[in-house]
Structure 1
């Protein structure tokens, strides 16, 4: 089991120099002192978010060799990298991983990547065509650009989660699983109740790699009834 990265005893301080605002300096300081950011760089993951999926997988056993996986909101590719490694995509008897994002994603060995706005008309049909069959796991780390208005941000990310769930219900094999990012705000409980009709087990979790001051968490639905 992967141990969480340890914090360094030394803390980097960033000044508001060279045209940086106080907010920009604060963000940069947090990045420089984040053990997950440091570990991602040293271990070759494209983002600290890779550890969120690693932690979820190690606790709930979501990824297995040979599985077919769709990663929605894949950029910059951290989750796709983890999925490729754990389902052994690209190997002769390995799995298949399709990463989808509105932004381009640099090539990842073993993965099929698709630049597509998932909310665009007919986008779901295009993704299904690229998938070329059913899936065992649908991942969604999709997030809309933050507006700074908490209720608006909550509504927008829940809309993305609902779109991902609707897609998952159409492409998952019986027994399949769905993982998606949500924000605290109340309506996520309604979404959980909806998922309980179609999945045997539904959980609402916050992996250690999610920052403590972040409102994000993840819903994990397993045992798709089909």
Structure 2
């Protein structure tokens, strides 16, 4: 990130570690449940294909071999009764282990992701920098800012952290009777949200 001529940094902060608690419930658990769903659905379809192929083989065998013993008939009937969900009951410990491992990896990724986040406020613009796999630098000059908001959900209220949203003409904030649009920039996990809000608001009014 390069500063323009006569541009100075007034605030350069990172989200508080408490944001990881919020991410655990909003991201880690959500992604883990999604992983579990896809794992179980994958097992279901694999078992369905296996059962279908076994049935086809048995049907061909019955056509070729007219004479079959009672034991073979009984065994064939038992196989036909097998349910596609049986593989889930057989391999659920492995599936849960995979989901548990995925949740750990996701949380580790989020821990390092938070460390890359920087919320920068200069005398000319607000800047967000962050990302691991893809580095993102997003900038909004003060003259383009139309609204600023501070917000908390229930969990953030318990943890004592705030979010500051910055809106531009393309992302107008919520009005009465309208749906809330997505903010252009989100500064999440702030303990000193008032300082951030006042700094942005001061420069926005001057521009």
Q: Same fold (TM over 0.5)?
A: no
The alignment's TM-score, normalised by the length of structure 1, stands at 0.23
Q: Which has the higher helix share?
A: 2
The alignment's TM-score, normalised by the length of structure 2, stands at 0.25
Larger-gyration structure (1/2):
2
Q: Highest relative contact order (Cα 8 Å, sep 6+), 1 or 2?
A: 2
